[in-house]
Amino acid sequence: MSEQQAAFFDHDGVEIAYRHREGKSPGVVWLGGYRSDMLGTKAEALDEWAARTGHAFLRHDYSGHGESGGEFRYGTISKWLGESLAAFRRFTSGRQILVGSSMGGWIALRMAEELRKAGEDRVAGIVLLAPAPDFTTELIEPKLKKSQKRDLETKGFFEVPSEYSPEPYIYTRALFEDGKLNRVLGKPIDTHSPVHILQGMADPDVPHTHALKLVGCLPSDDVTLSLIPDGDHRLSRQQDLDMLIDAVDGMIERAA
């Protein structure tokens, strides 16, 4: 576990936990997945890389995640996107490489859109691991059972067991409705930066065809897709971490 202690900042009345390692530019910004936190294997590997290379590194927990305040069930893509942009703007300077895992890949793509709209040309590159943009409409809704649809209508949420945590995943009606407002697939995604996607072909949660669909929305001359035949959704084995670090190093070289 990281030796750094979490610090906190207020965003819309919620205490958001973050860890920031000062360093040279371009820095790296970590964006975790649904129900994950900033002390996971991949984030820790990036922190070790940053300490070794002297690059800046920022990570935070979304509200309802990890050490941050707030309740998970009140979270939406828009809410977590707003917190991520706030952390980015408050604690980074200069060009940054966004690294997003699973849902964090969706957040990274939306951040690139919002920063570009605001005239902030600060994204030097994007690295995505098992990216899950539009997962609410693309990956979950088509597989909803009648009982889950009924729970969404009557209770406003449903639960499913998690393979990664003793606590079940909670999916809310607000998450689905907000997800539709943040869709990125089905249209050109102009990130104005190179993108490198790492995708396991043995991923039970995000099929590699989803990564291929994403590639089809990105400018082909700026995209690298690395398919890992035996890679799962976590991509946390040592060989996966090595590929992640190589991808970030590649972005550093391109930015230089």
Residues designated catalytic: 102, 203, 233
For residues 210 and 138, the answer to whether their CB atoms sit within 8 Å is: yes
For residues 16 and 61, the answer to whether their CB atoms sit within 8 Å is: yes
For residues 38 and 30, the answer to whether their CB atoms sit within 8 Å is: yes
Question: 157-191 burial, b for 16+ CB within 10 Å, e for fewer?
Answer: bbeeeeeeeeeebbbbebbbebbeebbbbeeebeb
* Distance in angstroms (rounded) separating the CA atoms of residues 219 and 118: 21
Measured CA to CA in angstroms, residue 59 lies from 50, 139, 157 at distances of 12, 26, 28
Where does residue 256 rank: exposed (0-12), middle (13-18), buried (19+ CB within 10 A)?
exposed
